Amino acid sequence: MPSQQDVVAALAGIMGPDGRTPLPQSGVLGGVVVREDRVFVSLEVQAVRAAEAEPMRAAVERAVSALPGVGKAFVTLTTPSKGEAGAAPRPAPTPAPTPAHDHGHHHGHDHGHSHAAAAPGPGPKAQAARTAQGVPGVRTIIAVASGKGGVGKSTTSANLALALRNLGQKVAVLDADIYGPSMPRLFGLKQKPEVIEGKTMRPLEAFGLKIMSIGFLVEEETPMIWRGPMVMSAITQMLREVAWGDVDIMVVDMPPGTGDAQLTMAQSVPLAGSVIVSTPQDLALIDARRGIAMFRRTEVPILGIVENMSTFVCPHCGTKTDIFSHGGAQHEAERLGVPYLGEVPLALPIRETSDAGRPIVVADPQGPHAQAYMGIAQRLMATLQGSRSRPAPRIVTE
C-alpha cells in the first residue's frame, strides 16, 4: 500500500494549471488520503475552470492508479472554500496528526467547516452562480437530514426508502454520512462494490434497493478522519462514479449538521427537496431549525418534517409515555409552514430489526411501525408530485 508521500511524489511530474509548476506546489492539491488500497485525491479549482482542469484530473488519476498496491483511485475536482485556486503556490500536503477529538464518533457534532454556510445570503454583491447537474438515470433526489445526530435519521432513511419501493418506485440509497455510515449495518451488507468499466462502481443491492456507502469501502471500525475537501470528494464520486441505472427516487442519508456534505449535495445535484428528521424535544428542534434554514439558504425545498421517537408504548402494559415529549415536530412544521409527514414511535422492534440488518418495513411489513413509515412515504409522494420538474438550485457565493 502506498503512503501519502508516495502519492505526492507520483504527482510531481504533473504540471499545475499554469503548465510550469509541479502540481504538489501549484496550490491546487487539496488533500491526499490513503485507505487500504484506495487513494482519495482532491484538486481545488474554481467552478468556472472545471472543464479546462479535467485533463489534469485525468492525468492525476492515471498516475495514482499506476502506483503499486493501488486498487482504486478517487480523484475529484472540488471548489476551494475561499480564495482563488492556484493563485499562490502552497506546500504539498503532509499527513496531519490525529486530532484529540475523534471524528469517527460524530453524533451531535458538525464536522464540516464551510465558509459558504456562514456567509450572508444572496445579495447585490453576488458574483457567481453554479448550476447543479443531475445524476444519469436518477429522476428524483431527496435528502434526509437532521440538525444533530442520534435522532434516528439513518433508520428513517432506510425504512422510508423501503416504503417508497413498496409504493412501486425504483429506489436507490446513497449513504452520504462519511463519518458515521450506517447503511451497511442497516441492510446487513459487508461485501465491497464491484468495479466495472474502469472507475465506475456497481452499487450493492438489498431488498430491491440499490445502495452505496463509504462504509462498503473501508472497515467498519476505521475512523474517517477527513477534512472537508475529502468529504466533498468522496460524496461527489459516490454520486458520479456509480452505475445507478434506472432510478425513480434516490434517498440520500445526510450526515448531521450544516457543513460541507450538505453544501456539496446542494451544489452537486438538483435536489427535489429535503426531509428533516427530529425528535420532539426542544433541544433537537433547535438543531432541526438550523438544518431547515441551511436548505432554504441554498434554495432546496423542505418536503416535510418527520417526528421520530415520538411516543413509547410499553409492550407489557400498553401505557403510552412521551419520553422525548410529543408533537414538537408537528408544531414546528406548522410554525414554519412546511408539510408534516408524520411520526414514528420509540419502539424496540425498530431498533432490533435495524441492528439485525432487516429494517422493520421488511421484517414486519403489516405491523404498525412499518405502516407508520408507509404513511410518511405516501405523504412524501404527494408532496413530490409538484416538484419532480424543479430546476437545479442556484447556489450564490459572495
Q: Whole-angstrom Cα distance, residue 9 to residue 12?
A: 5
Tell me if 153 is assigned to a ligand binding site.
Answer: yes
Give every CB contact of residue 231 below 8 A, 6+ residues apart in sequence. 111, 112, 178, 179, 260, 261, 264
N-terminal to C-terminal alpha carbon distance within the chain: 42
Query: Element (H or E) spanning 396, and its range?
Result: strand 394-397
Chain position carrying cell 496531519: 96
268: number of Cβ within 10 Å? 21
Ligand-binding annotation for 82, yes or no, is no
Would the annotation count 125 as a binding residue?
A: no
Collapsing DSSP to helix, strand or coil, 27 comes out as: coil
Residue 154, annotated as binding a ligand:
yes
Q: Phi and psi dihedrals of 384, rounded to 5?
A: -70, -20
- The answer to whether 149 is annotated as binding is yes
Among 391, 372, 361, smallest CA distance to 207 is for 361
147 is in an annotated binding site: yes
Closest CA to 313 of 305, 328, 323, 304: 323
Name which of 22, 21, 18, 24 is nearest 6 in CA terms. Answer: 24
DSSP H helical ranges for the chain? 4-10, 50-65, 115-118, 153-166, 183-186, 228-240, 260-268, 282-297, 328-336, 348-355, 360-363, 368-384
**86 assigned ligand-binding residue:** no
Q: Does residue 181 contact residue 175 with C-beta atoms inside 8 Å?
A: yes
Tell whether residue 304 is among the known ligand binding residues: no
Annotated binding site for ATP: 147-154
Annotated binding site: 147-154
